[in-house]
Amino acid sequence: MKNHKNTPNLRQVQDTKFTIQLLKIYNALKVKPMTMKELDIYTGIMRENVCRHIDILLQQGRIAVIRKRRCTVTGYLYVNEYTGDPDLFPQSRQLKLF
């Protein structure tokens, strides 16, 4: 029995949606630093997906954690604030060898 719900065209649509969400999150973080829940509200992308995209962008080095602060949406005290603006990236404390 074949699985007709997993066609190449459907996978391509899902990949396109994934890429669009990733770019939307990255562009939002370039505008202003935000927490995951703030990104959820700003972009309309579910927080669970935001979390996945943040992890990918952190691994690529395209975004950085600036600091921990209180979330304006949930009120939780210690949440990471992310940015995509390279000017706001924290300076490395590692000494340069060369």
| 8-57 pLDDT, tens digit each | 665 666 678 788 999 999 999 999 999 999 999 999 999 999 999 999 99
Which CATH number fits the domain that encloses residue 49? 1.10.10.10
CB 81 within 8 A of CB 34: yes
Compute the mean pLDDT over every residue in the chain, rounded to the nearest whole number.
87
Q: What is the Cα–Cα distance from 50 to 59, expressed in whole angstroms?
A: 14
Q: Does 50 reside within a domain?
A: yes
**pLDDT of 1 above 60:** no
Three-state SS at 50: helix
Structure tokens at 23: 């770019």
**pLDDT of 60 above 90:** yes
Q: Does 60 reside within a domain?
A: yes
- Tell me how long the chain is: 98
